[in-house]
A and B are shown apart, each in its own frame.
Chain A
Amino acid sequence: MILLFYLAATVALISTVAVILQSDVVHALIYLILSLLAVAVIFYTLGAPFAAMLEAIVYAGAIMVLFLFVIMMLNLGKRSRQQEKSWIQRRVWIGPVILAGVLLAQLLNVLVQQGTDVAVVEVGVRAVGLSLFGPYVLAVEIASILLLAGLVGAYHLAKK
């Protein structure tokens, strides 16, 4: 299980790096799907099977298909790929990478100072469901209103 965790983490990191380095949109999207599926495996190893299922179905399934449809509608061809290549230059990315790297180093410095090794206990669908429709039922209602607003907004914006 531990081996599975580290393998999936490696896959997630490599495919995420591949996403932000790609010049072809569709290839980047395929790498992003791979990264999300690797994160789903990580959720499973962390004892969260419900979150793993939702990650695979909603994220890697529904949201990425939405992306794919829009990329197909935009019809970006060879010209856009060359344009992408001309946009990814060293002087463009070197500054943000260094600054973000400094922030990451600070974060890691804080994180490695506290070491706790805890046994993974599965928090299953039943526990999540009881909590979701018990104390958090108001959050579910608000989420439904948010989704409705997103639906109306997307319909209005994408309309001719």
Chain B
Amino acid sequence: MHSIPFEHGLILAGVLFVLGLIGVLTRRNVVFVLMSLEIMLNACGLAFVVSSARWQHADGQIMFLMILTLAAAEVAVGLGLIIQMYRRYHTVDLNVLTQMKG
């Protein structure tokens, strides 16, 4: 069997997570922010699968399935919010939403 250094997988997950974080912090388009959140969730799932491979146990993959479910629900609700925001304000600029009272 081949072997892969455990920490290389975790480093990849960390770098992907930070890239997603930079996307969330710097973008103003709400669609891009949601995509960056997806990148971050995916990086978390990668870390769990790497741990699953490290200890040769199925639990990490179970956790990845839970993250997948969470991401699906989050994207559905988030995209619904984006559609509603576009209907009301005709923009996808996050800075327009500075007050709660619509």
Contact = CB atoms under 8 A, between A and B. Distances in A.
Interface of B: 1-12, 14-16, 18-23, 25-29, 31-32, 34-36, 38-39, 42, 45-46, 49-50, 52-54, 56-59, 61-62, 64-66, 68-77, 79-84, 86-87, 92-93
A117 B26 contact: no
Interface string A68-79: 001101101000
A39 B65 CA distance: 15
A25 B33 CA distance: 11
A82 B18 CA distance: 26
Contacts of A51: 45, 49, 52, 61, 64-65
Nearest to B70: A146
A47 B14 CA distance: 20
Contacts of B4: 1-2, 5, 45-46, 118, 120
Contact of A123 (B23, B27, B53, B82): B53
Contacts of B10: 111
Contacts of A29: 35
Contact of B16 (A2, A13, A143, A151): A13
20 contacts: A16-B19, A29-B35, A35-B39, A39-B16, A39-B42, A46-B49, A51-B49, A63-B71, A88-B26, A88-B27, A96-B22, A96-B26, A104-B15, A107-B14, A118-B53, A120-B2, A132-B65, A143-B69, A154-B79, A155-B80
